[in-house]
């Protein structure tokens, strides 16, 4: 059976043997709105909770270039609505988290030209500690440092996309604050070994997820007034928009998207072939770990995950590469993180190492060399066909196989009785 997997900016077709294939897990994601601008305006006119108050200065905190939020379509109607309500000054703050600040070219690609005419554009830069304000600790002991621009305006709105997230449950909502515009110490604590290791810190889980709880507290303490969150279609367009108070609005968006992206699998498999989610989700190997985490939910112990991720920017995060490549055994890497944290990018390394303690991972990535993959305890493949051949050689010829063509856009559900 030929199956098309999201890969980079397009798709890659892979022939999977019918006799081995037991499931192809696809979503029924909602269609793109006929008028995306109208959908945003509809949301602003009919918010989950009212949020626009009197003032003249507004801060729009937006996701960075590693996220698929269609900001060029989202921001103009938001700014227009606020102008109608009397706001005159606008700042767009790019929530880079610990990522590198966006270049001018990346900003133009991310925001579109019109926004530059309407607002001041600023990168959140964690290295500029003099631009951070300390707000105390969350109930989980996270010291909260956030960008000081939040306290120079009358209205603070987070703009992002709601989609599955491999340890915060879902993106969107308060993640625009933590880690979006938080300090290094804050993110390290929220992404610590213990927090990532908690059983509730998983894909698609909010209730009982301590990382999500910490994020919600941080957004409240920061005075985030509202979020404008979108759910995307399979084409990457705006399907539905939700506006209002951060927690209630985010939950409403999650409730909507879960109707489309939760997919039941019959059982786990020996081999799971999973997409990295396509661009920008698979723009580098660091981000592509999220695809591995989807495969983790479906692969049997001692099975194999085959990850198809373009990684046009390579590994991209040098600290991630340097940390992982020091080790030949994932258990040793986990122990090192636990003993020596905080370490830059340890959370991505921890999740990949956790998966590697239970299964092997084969990667087909045009943008990463075979040597780099081998140095990171991953098995390189020069094509999807070679990846499959290696996978069967590591398991058996009659190994059962599951395909997840959309990768990070899917939340697989497996029966509890399924073989692990």
Q: What is the DSSP string of 97-156?
A: TTSPPPPHHHHHHHH-HHHHHHSEEEE--TT-GGGEEEEEE-TT--EEEEEGGGGSSSEE
Angle at which helix 285-296 crosses helix 346-356, to 10 degrees, equals 40
Give the pLDDT confidence score for residue 52 in this predicted structure: 94
**Tens digit of pLDDT for each residue in 324-376?**
999 999 999 999 999 999 999 999 999 999 999 999 999 999 999 999 999 99
Mean pLDDT of 288-305: 97
Q: Which residue among 99, 124, 191, 409 is the active-site one? A: 99
d(CA 388, CA 177): 41
The strand order across the sheet containing 120-123 reads: 120-123, 89-95, 57-63, 155-161, 226-232, 238-244
The structure tokens listed for 267 are: 């059982």
If you count them, how many residues does the chain have?
A: 420
Mean pLDDT of 194-212: 97
d(CA 201, CA 31): 30
Q: Prior bond to 179 cis, omega within 30?
A: yes
Give the pLDDT confidence score for residue 418 in this predicted structure: 57
Mean pLDDT of 286-312: 97
Residue 390: half-sphere exposure toward Cβ, Cα within 13 Å: 21
198 flagged as catalytic: no
pTM (two decimals): 0.94
The rounded mean pLDDT for the chain is: 96
165 flagged as catalytic: yes
Give the pLDDT confidence score for residue 77 in this predicted structure: 96
SS3 328: coil
pLDDT above 70 as % of the chain: 99
Looking at the chain, the domain(s) classified CATH 3.90.226.30 span 2-25+265-413
Higher pLDDT, residue 76 or 66 = 76
Give the pLDDT confidence score for residue 30 in this predicted structure: 85
239-262: b (≥16 Cβ within 10 Å) or e:
bbbbbbbbbebbbbbbeebeebbe
- Confidence bin at 102 (pLDDT 50/70/90): confident
d(CA 302, CA 417): 18
Q: Prior bond to 280 cis, omega within 30?
A: yes
Mean pLDDT of 263-290: 96
- Confidence bin at 136 (pLDDT 50/70/90): very high
Q: What share of the chain is helix, strand, coil (3-state, %, to 5)?
A: 35, 25, 40
Mean pLDDT of 305-329: 97
The secondary structure of residue 172, as a DSSP letter, is: S
Look at the alpha carbons of 135, 129, 318, 405 in this order and tell me if their dihedral is positive or negative. Answer: positive
Nearest to 81 by CA among 111, 116, 46: 46
Give the pLDDT confidence score for residue 415 in this predicted structure: 80
CB 222, CB 135: distance < 8 Å = yes
**Tens digit of pLDDT for each residue in 238-267?**
999 999 999 999 999 999 999 999 999 999
SS3 251: helix
d(CA 44, CA 51): 9
| 36-260: CATH architecture | 3-Layer(aba) Sandwich (3.40)
239 contact partners, CB below 8 Å, separation of at least 6: 29, 30, 31, 32, 33, 39, 230, 231, 232, 233
**Tens digit of pLDDT for each residue in 205-224?**
999 999 999 999 999 999 99
Give the pLDDT confidence score for residue 232 in this predicted structure: 94
> Is the pLDDT reported for residue 380 higher than 70?
yes
Give the pLDDT confidence score for residue 309 in this predicted structure: 98
Measured at the CA of 151, the angle between CA 147 and CA 154, to 5 degrees, comes to 130
Give the pLDDT confidence score for residue 420 in this predicted structure: 53
Q: Which CATH superfamily is domain 2-25+265-413 in?
A: LarA, C-terminal domain (3.90.226.30)
Look at the alpha carbons of 80, 87, 122, 95 in this order and tell me if their dihedral is positive or negative. Answer: negative
Give the pLDDT confidence score for residue 229 in this predicted structure: 98
Q: CA-CA distances (angstroms) from residue 275 to 62, 272, 384, 393?
A: 26, 10, 11, 21
Give the pLDDT confidence score for residue 81 in this predicted structure: 97
CB 236, CB 68: distance < 8 Å = yes
Give the pLDDT confidence score for residue 326 in this predicted structure: 97
Give the pLDDT confidence score for residue 305 in this predicted structure: 98
Give the pLDDT confidence score for residue 217 in this predicted structure: 98
Give the pLDDT confidence score for residue 183 in this predicted structure: 97
Mean pLDDT of 87-109: 92
- Confidence bin at 417 (pLDDT 50/70/90): low
- Confidence bin at 118 (pLDDT 50/70/90): very high
CB 94, CB 107: distance < 8 Å = yes
> Is the pLDDT reported for residue 419 higher than 80?
no
Mean pLDDT of 23-30: 90
Q: Which residue among 124, 165, 191, 409 is the active-site one? A: 165
Looking at the chain, the domain(s) classified CATH 3.40.50.11440 span 36-260
């Amino acid at each position: 059976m030929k199956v098309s997997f999201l890969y980079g900016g397009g798709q890659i077709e892979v022939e999977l043997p019918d006799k081995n294939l037991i499931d192809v897990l696809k979503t029924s994601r909602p269609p793109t709105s006929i008028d995306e601008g109208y959908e945003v305006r509809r949301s602003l006119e009919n918010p989950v909770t009212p949020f626009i108050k009197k003032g003249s200065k507004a801060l729009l905190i937006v996701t960075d270039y590693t996220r698929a939020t269609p900001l060029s379509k989202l921001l103009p109607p938001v700014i227009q609505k606020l102008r109608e309500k009397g706001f005159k000054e606008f700042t767009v703050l790019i929530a880079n988290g610990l990522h590198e600040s966006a270049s001018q070219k990346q900003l133009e690609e991310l925001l579109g030209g019109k926004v530059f005419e309407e607002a001041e554009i600023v990168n959140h830069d964690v290295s500029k500690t003099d631009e951070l304000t300390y707000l105390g600790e969350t109930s989980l002991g996270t010291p909260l440092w956030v960008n000081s621009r939040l306290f120079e305006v009358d209205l603070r709105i987070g703009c992002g996309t709601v989609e599955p997230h491999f340890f915060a449950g879902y993106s969107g909502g308060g993640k625009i604050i933590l880690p979006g515009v938080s300090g290094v110490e804050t993110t390290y604590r929220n992404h610590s070994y213990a927090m990532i290791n908690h059983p509730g810190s998983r894909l698609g889980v909010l209730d009982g997820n301590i990382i999500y709880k910490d994020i919600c507290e941080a957004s409240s303490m920061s005075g985030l007034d509202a979020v404008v969150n979108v759910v995307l279609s399979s084409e990457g367009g705006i399907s539905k928009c939700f506006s209002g108070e951060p927690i209630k609005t985010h939950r409403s968006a999650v409730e909507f998207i879960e109707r489309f992206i939760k997919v039941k699998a019959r059982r786990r498999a020996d081999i799971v072939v999973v997409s990295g989610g396509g661009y920008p989700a698979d723009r580098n190997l660091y981000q592509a770990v999220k695809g591995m985490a989807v495969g983790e939910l479906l692969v049997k112990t001692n099975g194999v995950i085959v990850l198809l991720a373009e990684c046009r920017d390579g590994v991209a995060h040098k600290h991630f590469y340097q940390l992982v490549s020091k080790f030949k055994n994932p258990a040793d890497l986990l122990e090192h993180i636990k003993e020596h944290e905080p370490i830059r990018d340890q959370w991505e390394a921890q999740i990949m190492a956790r998966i590697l303690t239970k299964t092997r991972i084969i990667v087909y990535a045009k943008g990463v060399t075979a040597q780099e993959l081998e140095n990171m305890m991953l098995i390189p493949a020069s094509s999807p066909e070679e990846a499959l051949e290696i996978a069967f050689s590591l398991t058996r010829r009659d190994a059962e196989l599951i395909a997840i063509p959309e990768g990070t856009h899917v939340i697989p559900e497996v029966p509890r009785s399924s073989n692990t």
